[in-house]
């Protein structure tokens, strides 16, 4: 082989090697959000962080905000109008023990999702807590390319219903292709600083004097289906209050975006009714609801002013557990109600404890505890008069929602 041909061969080989190892660097990705009308998805934000007050360790907080979101319509601009119901609950761990476990708040929200991922609130609500994050570029990007955008994070450090909007400026960088539990995805790194002083949010919590901190976020995006999959946020935040208290949070926020398989409510109602009849369960009604399917356990007998089910009623719960075991994947929301007797606070506590009693019994029958959330609504939703014993018996009921989630 001549020297010239050898040089040509080496040149061609060098070019091929260069293209092989540099293709990913030049590959461009288009990030675009595309949810379709009628689709539903869950947005689950789980915060796990240590909490200190004036440098004293308070405990390890596990806070979950779980939104069930329905895409209502698509506008000509490509924006999607959405309706969401967000369940908020919190647990504090100390010495590896849970000291609380309940739904603290249920919030409805209306918002739109733009094609670049921005959440714009249409009706005043605290959730979703992130608006304008993540924001994706409107043009194709390649590995290493960066962009910046403003966002808003809504905080409620004192957990008493007073929210504050903190505006931040975020830098994003596209890192290239990756893998998330066996799924091909694109990876974006983002980081932003929390900087807030009293008065920055006119409607914010007046007790907050200053907020500082930082967030470093890894975002996993499914380019083929045009939607985010997961975010992992490592953060630390410091809250200074007007009473000179200082609170520090440090940990992680994990966010999942999961599509929901739409429930055939009519078919599920028919199947549950058949199972109840086969199991000879009485005084349980089944009906379709916006949230999913509702089972109401009527005339359930608790010991007076206690969250203890009378033994002769346990057979119904045992049989009901067998029917619920046949329902896969869905979450069960258990709601306790009571008659109007005593103070509103005592009614709420009793209804909450009774809901928890039902959850504990169903779990003891083999249904995983992770499938349950629960709350008490006191005597605020009566179905009969509280002036008669018969009416009060009807109001002492427990509802189980099979959520479309």
The pLDDT assigned to 93 comes to: 55
d(CA 93, CA 85): 26
Average confidence (pLDDT) over 67-85: 89
Residue-range domain boundaries for the chain = 27-259, 265-403
The pLDDT assigned to 224 comes to: 85
The pLDDT assigned to 230 comes to: 96
pTM: 0.82
Average confidence (pLDDT) over 302-318: 84
Mean residue pLDDT of the chain comes to: 86
CA-wise closest residue to 339 among 282, 294, 284, 301: 301
Q: What is the CATH number of domain 27-259?
A: 2.30.230
d(CA 296, CA 305): 20
The pLDDT assigned to 207 comes to: 96
Residue 94 pLDDT > 90, yes or no?
Answer: no
Contact indicator for 90, 63 with CB cutoff of 8 Å: yes
Per-residue confidence band for 27, with pLDDT thresholds at 50, 70 and 90: low
Q: What is the dihedral of CA 191, 193, 194, 197, to 10 degrees?
A: -160
Helix (H, G, I), strand (E, B), or coil: what is residue 284?
strand
User: pLDDT (tens digit, 9 = 90+) per residue, 198-250?
Assistant: 999 999 999 999 999 999 999 999 988 888 999 999 999 999 999 999 999 99
d(CA 153, CA 128): 9
Lowest-confidence range among 187-196, 266-275, 336-345?
336-345
User: pLDDT (tens digit, 9 = 90+) per residue, 134-182?
Assistant: 998 888 899 999 999 999 999 999 888 899 999 999 999 999 999 998 8
| CATH domain 265-403 topology | 60s Ribosomal Protein L30; Chain: A; (3.30.1330)
Average confidence (pLDDT) over 355-380: 90
> Percentage of the chain surpassing pLDDT 70?
91
The pLDDT assigned to 15 comes to: 43
Contact indicator for 136, 33 with CB cutoff of 8 Å: yes
């Amino acid at each position: 082989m001549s020297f010239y041909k050898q040089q040509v061969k080496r040149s061609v080989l060098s070019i091929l090697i260069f293209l092989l190892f540099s293709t990913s660097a030049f590959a461009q990705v288009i990030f675009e959000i595309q949810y379709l009308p009628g689709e539903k998805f869950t947005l689950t934000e789980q915060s796990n962080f240590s909490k200190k007050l004036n440098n004293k360790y308070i405990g390890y907080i596990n806070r979950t905000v779980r939104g069930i979101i329905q895409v209502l319509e698509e506008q000509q601009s490509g924006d999607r109008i959405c309706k969401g119901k967000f369940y908020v609950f919190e647990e504090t761990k100390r010495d590896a023990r849970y000291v609380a476990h309940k739904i603290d708040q249920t919030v409805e929200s209306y918002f739109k999702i733009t094609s670049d991922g921005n959440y714009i609130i249409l009706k005043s609500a605290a959730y979703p807590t992130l608006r304008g994050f993540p924001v994706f570029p409107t043009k194709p990007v390649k590995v290493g390319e960066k962009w910046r955008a403003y966002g808003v994070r809504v905080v409620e450090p004192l957990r008493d219903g007073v929210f504050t909007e903190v505006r931040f400026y975020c830098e994003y960088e596209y890192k290239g292709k990756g893998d998330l539990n066996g799924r091909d995805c694109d990876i974006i790194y983002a980081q932003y600083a929390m900087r807030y002083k009293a008065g920055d949010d006119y409607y914010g919590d007046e007790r907050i004097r200053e907020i500082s901190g930082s967030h470093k976020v890894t975002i996993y995006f499914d380019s083929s289906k045009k939607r985010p999959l997961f975010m992992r946020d490592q953060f630390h935040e410091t809250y200074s209050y007007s009473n000179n208290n200082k609170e520090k949070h440090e940990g992680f926020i994990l966010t999942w975006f999961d599509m929901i398989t739409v429930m055939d409510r009519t078919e599920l109602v028919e199947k549950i009714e058949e199972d109840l009849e086969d199991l000879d369960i009485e005084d349980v009604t089944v009906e379709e609801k916006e949230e999913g399917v509702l089972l109401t356990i009527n005339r359930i007998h608790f010991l007076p002013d206690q969250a203890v089910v009378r033994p002769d009623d346990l057979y119904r719960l045992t049989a009901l557990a067998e029917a619920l075991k046949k329902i896969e994947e869905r979450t069960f929301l258990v709601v306790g109600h009571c008659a109007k007797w005593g103070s509103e606070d005592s009614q709420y506590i009793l209804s909450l404890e009774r809901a928890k009693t039902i959850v504990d019994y169903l779990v003891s029958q083999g249904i995983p505890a992770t499938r349950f959330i629960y709350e008490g609504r006191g005597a605020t939703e009566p179905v009969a008069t509280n002036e008669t014993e018969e009416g009060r018996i009807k109001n002492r009921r427990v509802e189980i929602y099979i959520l479309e989630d």
